[in-house]
Structure 1
Amino acid sequence: MSPMNESLFEFPCDFPIKVMGKSHPEFAETIVAVIRQFDSGFDASRVEVRPSSGGNYTGLTVTVRAVSREHLDTIYLALTGHPMVKVVL
């Protein structure tokens, strides 16, 4: 494997993902449900919630336990494909 293909992360690792969407009473709960499809032990208390200054959007930081690059990519795809999600970083 060439150095360019090697991961910069040692797996498994805790990896923070930022998720933004329109403010909705069930936004955080819904995102936790998506994460739990791929990380059954995900602890919802590890979700940081930040409403936007205008209150129209909510930003979440969810810290997942990623076991591989593929696992992380799969979580990102599920989040970006969810209708409540606007941005995933």
Structure 2
Amino acid sequence: MNDSNHSDAQEFGFVFPCSFPIKAMGPANCGLEAAVLEIIYRHAPETIDPAVSIRPSRGGKWISITVTFNAENRVQLDAIYQDLTAHELVLWAL
């Protein structure tokens, strides 16, 4: 393991590469799933067939989308989170 990955593992609690779930929430029926996937594919173009789960809110006004993909490093994750939280359809991401 190189020093960069070792530092990531200590600071972030992960050893990269690893399977990583990202969750975003926003309004239902407005293209949120496509927006979230586009952001992930932009930063992780090698992602093939990520695991995607969608859960509507009780009233159906909101949805949460969880996408599990292979994360390569913390810089990649930070960039994905930055783009997700900046997107107009995303209320929050974790």
TM-score, structure 1 normalization: 0.85
Which runs of 5 or more structure 1 residues have no equivalent in the other structure?
none
Residues 3-82 of structure 1 mapped to structure 2, 5 A cutoff: 6-7=10-11, 8-44=13-49, 46-82=51-87
2:83 & 2:20 partners in 1: Cα distance?
16
Q: Which residue of structure 1 aligns with residue 93 of structure 2? A: 88
Contact 1:34–1:79, Cα closer than 8 Å, also in 2: yes
1:40 counterpart letter in structure 2: P
State the Cα deviation string for residues 25-46 of structure 1 (Å, max 9, x = none).
4221121111110011334551
Q: Stretches of 4+ moved more than 6 A in 1?
A: none
State the Cα deviation string for residues 35-66 of structure 1 (Å, max 9, x = none).
11001133455110001010000101111221
1:59 counterpart letter in structure 2: S
Please give the root-mean-square deviation of Cα atoms over the aligned residues, in Å. Answer: 2.0
2:72 & 2:23 partners in 1: Cα distance?
18
State the Cα deviation string for residues 59-88 of structure 1 (Å, max 9, x = none).
011112211111111111011111000010
